[in-house]
Amino acid sequence: MAAVSIVKCEDYSQDKVYSALKRSIDLIGGIDKYIKPGMKVLLKCNLLMKKKPEQAATTHPEVVAALGRLVKEAGAHPIIGDSPGGLYNVSALRGVYRACGMEDIAIRDGLDLNYNVDTEDVSHPEGQILKNLKVIKILSQVDAVISVCKLKTHGLTLYTGAVKNLFGVIPGTAKAEYHLRMRKMEDFSEALVDIASYVKPSLSIMDAIVGMEGDGPSAGQPREIGAIIASQSPYELDVVAASLVGIDTKRVYTIQKARERGFCSDQLEDIKLYGDSFQELYISDYKIPVHKKKGFVEKYVSGDSRIASFVRSNFGPRPVVNYKGCIGCGDCARNCPPKVISMEDKKPLIDLKKCIRCYCCQELCPKETIVIKQSWLFRVFK
């Protein structure tokens, strides 16, 4: 089992972030334990979409800048990169880097941004579901990967952190194929652990200075947490981070699938925790997506039976468009894995009978006008 460090950091001032990040890594062995001179290192951030840093949907640039500085001090060459949702091309990357603040720190601190948009097919015999993957080419051109994630709630997976962040090595619209192939939450989560076990990040860093609660991963609200979390294990980091904001680890399928493979325990007391007081940083009222609160579907109709499937499909949580705020950009239709969203008069229409409830439309809506709602039947039973 790997150690996990948690260090207080109250804001994103440059000096504070660097000091907190350095201490967090020093507590688990120091940067030299993970990064050697001459290495090329991918700083794999969470750059979901064009969001400003203060919106808390993406990894904050000052955390990335501090990590880049530490990697350079170790004699290595850091490269900032991700494959955001949507198209994976130079123009799209440039727009995301600029909006998320990565372009600014790259210029300020002399850091490289990845613009290699080539992809490759790779073999992963150890995978449980994914024996072969399509990944971004930069993975094979670096010597190490550091997952630089953000603590957020998630409409599909409930929680997103170090493991889910690595879904970003799947290029752009190819992510839709994975959603289509693994429609059950259990299978999709198993696939996420497959991806993490293929990437094998040398180190995982979590930006939990300001997280996102509510309707994450893009339409929630920023929530001050005040911490940086670090570990060699993305799985154990997720156990600590989810526990820190009061999310039951037994409800986080990526944690459970990792536990089944022996990658981690789902119990906080089994993890070697270093740094500042967990209890002082603990948050008991962190908001999760409303449709993820335990209710009728989890208690009575979970599973694969026809009745369970019927109830989930007809009465379960569903994406709903707020047309007053919709700008008709069509991002939801372009990024819908089963292609069940059509644009009519520049407004999206969702065929709920064919919707697979992946909530990519809600996740990638630039104006946050798609929300996930529960039916009146679920509300009555809740």
115 inside domain: yes
Residue 51: the pLDDT is 97
CATH assignment of the domain containing 360: 3.30.70.20
First-to-last C-alpha distance (Å) of the chain = 38
258 shares a domain with 304: no
Tell whether 142 and 170 lie within a shared domain. yes
Distance from C-alpha of 253 to C-alpha of 213, rounded to nearest angstrom: 18
pLDDT at position 172 is 87
| pLDDT band with cut points at 50, 70 and 90 for residue 296 | very low
Q: Considering only residues 381 and 128, tell me which one the structure prediction assigns the higher pLDDT.
A: 128
Evaluated on CA atoms 247, 169, 89, 205, the torsion sign reads positive
Percent of the chain with pLDDT over 70: 92
> Is the same domain home to 334 and 276?
no
- pLDDT at position 178 over 70: yes
Residue 98 lies in a domain: yes
CB 65 within 8 A of CB 105: yes
- Average pLDDT (278-301) is 79
- Indicate whether 80 belongs to any domain: yes
Question: Of the candidates 251, 281, 311, which is a domain's last residue?
Answer: 281
335 with 370, same domain? yes
> What predicted TM-score, i.e. pTM, was given to this entire model?
0.92
CATH number of 139's domain = 3.40.50
Q: How many domains does the chain have?
A: 2
Distance CA 165, CA 145 (A): 12
Q: Which of 260, 281, 302 is the last residue of a domain?
A: 281
Q: Which residue has the tokens 């004699």?
A: 75
Are 117 and 17 in a shared domain?
yes
What is the mean pLDDT of the segment spanning 271-293?
94
Same domain, 299 and 221: no
| The pLDDT value given to residue 173 | 83
Same domain, 373 and 244: no
Same domain, 133 and 253: yes
Is residue 367 domain-shared with residue 257, that is, in the same domain? Answer: no
Locus of tokens 């709602």: 373
Question: Which is more confidently placed, 381 or 218?
Answer: 218
Q: Are residues 305 and 264 in the same domain?
A: no
209 and 337 assigned to the same domain = no
Burial of 189 (0-12, 13-18, 19+ CB in 10 A): buried
Is the residue at 287 inside a domain? no
Domain-located, residue 191: yes
Measure CA 342 to chain center. 27
User: Which residues are within 8 A (CB) of 188 and not within 5 positions of it... i.e. 6 or more apart?
Assistant: 156, 157, 178, 179, 182, 253
Residue 316 — pLDDT band, cuts 50, 70, 90?
A: confident
Q: What phi and psi values does residue 17 have, to the nearest 5 degrees?
A: -65, -45
Last residue of a domain, one of 254, 281, 308: 281
Give yes or no: residues 255 and 132 share one domain: yes
**Confidence bin at 160 (pLDDT 50/70/90):** very high
Q: Residue 15: inside a domain, yes or no?
A: yes
- The answer to whether position 45 is within a domain reads yes
Is 183:201 a contact under the CB 8 Å cutoff? no
Instruction: Provide the domain limits for residue 316.
Output: 294-381
**Domain-embedded: residue 289:** no
Q: Collapse the DSSP code of 138 into the 3-class scheme (helix H, G, I; strand E, B; otherwise coil) and give the result.
A: helix
